[in-house]
Structure 1
Amino acid sequence: MPTTPPTLPTTGASRRRPRTLLAMDPPVRDALLDATALDRLAVVAETDPSLVVRDFADPAHAGVLERTEALLTGWGCPPLTAAALERMPRLRAVVHAGGSVKHHVTDACWERGLVVASAAAANARPVAEYTVASILFAGKRVLDARRAYRERRGPVDSLALLSGAGNHRRTVGVVGASRIGRRVIELLRPHDLDLLLHDPYLPAGEAARLGARPVSLDTLVRSSDVVTLHAPELPRTRHLFDRDRLALLRDGATLVNTARGALVDTAALTAELVSGRLYAVLDVTEPEVLPADSPLYDLPNVLLTPHVAGSLGNELGRLAHAALDELERYGRGLPFAEPVRAEDLRRSA
């Protein structure tokens, strides 16, 4: 039986430096923690930043795992199974410098009473920004303009080519009032758009407060010029956009997916896109990565990117410091600002 984890540190002005272990891919550590973040890590935690664990079963890590009170995790962290937790009897907290914790936080973590935090709110910002840029570009029919300019290599009659383009009073349908979905709505509010929202968990009146009109999913799909997906990947959302639902999209509509590839039936969407009836902006797909012979790489009505909407480059610093904020709060005996709870995780990304 694992040792009962210690209680939270006593709340107060004093700061403790919990023994903290980094668990992620080493290249992720190098990208996340610049000199400023490393200096701050040394202040808020007792840790060896040169040690990054990728295998909790490695005997070489037995001693440090036994002493670890907090994990600072990132992409590539191995699953925190019951067997892994047995090797960390003092573990009390998991702070994830990324978005979803579903890849490594298991039911065993909740059974042990661990407290978990994530930098998902910080990661939502670049995803929402990418999404909003995609929506506005879709309204301007940028893919069509690019193709015409490339083919003609000279003047383009944009008034004729793009006579139906523009973002004035376009209808945008947002599927999912997640952190990212809400941020997308917030960023779209200043624009001259009509916003629809579908989320089966949304309390009455919440959509209006956000600045959108609540509708059924099929009504949203039929009514929107652009549909953007921000729902979690759950058994009931797999292929939420199947052949029948994709057929409801109006001719010339754009589907934006920055959420999870499994929300869309790739074969059905590919058929629609090959026909030229729809447009798509796809940052995630199923499978990820697509086969080399997939038509989606070359279709002129598709913008396909390799899962880059989330934090990259200098945006990673925001993730690192969001996680360090939480680690500092833990050391001060304060509750996390962005906690992850078991009941919420079951219906979130």
Structure 2
Amino acid sequence: MKSNSYSPRLRQAYLVYDNSKENFHFLAGQAWSMLTPGRIGIVPRQESLPETIDAAMIAGQTWARQWQVRITQDFFKHKLWLGLSIENPQTLYDTTGYTTDGDERVLLPGGKVATINKDGTGLTNNGPFSNEIAPDVIAKIAYDPHWGHYEIEGIAHFAHDRVSWVGGGHNYTAPTGGGGGSMILPVIPHKVEVRIAGLAGYGIGRYGSVLLPDATINAQGKPQPLFSAQGTAGIIAHPSARFVVYGYFGTQWAGRNYSTLNGSAYGYGNPNAINTGCNIEMSSMPCTANIHSVMEGTIGAWWRFFKGRYGTVEFGTQLAYSRVQAYQGVGGKPHTSESQLFFDLRYLPFQ
């Protein structure tokens, strides 16, 4: 299964303008976020994505597909690139401990109500619209010397919500952000390369494949950004023109932010959260199990067994092992793991 998308959605649709005389580049539309690691400069369709069959890629991979306006300037014969991108914002909230009414409303202690974004995940959820106060602002520097490709990047994000009560209300905004980088090292040019990438900061969990939460809220309804970190490392080999072999390791984890009020546990990673039902199948007892970390290791290969004038046909297989660790709570520190085996047959038109 390549994708379990429930409803149609736009993947890629953008316009670009390239001025080779001034070395200026412009992009507008739906595309890979500029936070996504690249292979060459800061160029659309040159993203550095894992060769995995799994459409979710690998735990720890930094990426998103979203609307954006991007400007880029390159220098020194396309060796140094500077980019600035204004992108569609979104905040994934964790509401552990609170009662929600299923319509973006969180019921707070004292009768107040916080209005937040839906996270948009799950099987039959509606596609959410962001109600953030400002877009995500992303900056990147890319460098292409004679050997390798190197990037550093940063992001500013503005988590926003509305807290209402009878006769009044208040808007809250929490500025957050983070930074990271990536590199591609051609250990044996055209034969073996190593890829390393990472991102860390507050309120940016949604930019990882695991989709860990960006923030929680406190008892007053204010956004409380969560620290998160993610990274991947991989090695890719091309033993021949028809074969690609790869191996990756990736991880993503989220920090704690919680409070306990009148004996009730609120927030993410609260040690007073109830986990007594986590290891009992079909238990009626609670299982909060806020995720602390997810790690994954995977290996795979592609065989391009046919290549002609009208395209390429290739066969692939992938073996992946994933492990999820939750935060300690009352009743234990639950964890689980899973192994998956994928097979895939692809036709690549005119490639």
TM-score bucket of the superposed structures, by smaller chain:
under 0.3
Question: Greater strand percent: which structure?
Answer: 2
More helix by proportion, 1 or 2?
Answer: 1
- TM-score of the superposed pair, with normalisation by structure 1: 0.26
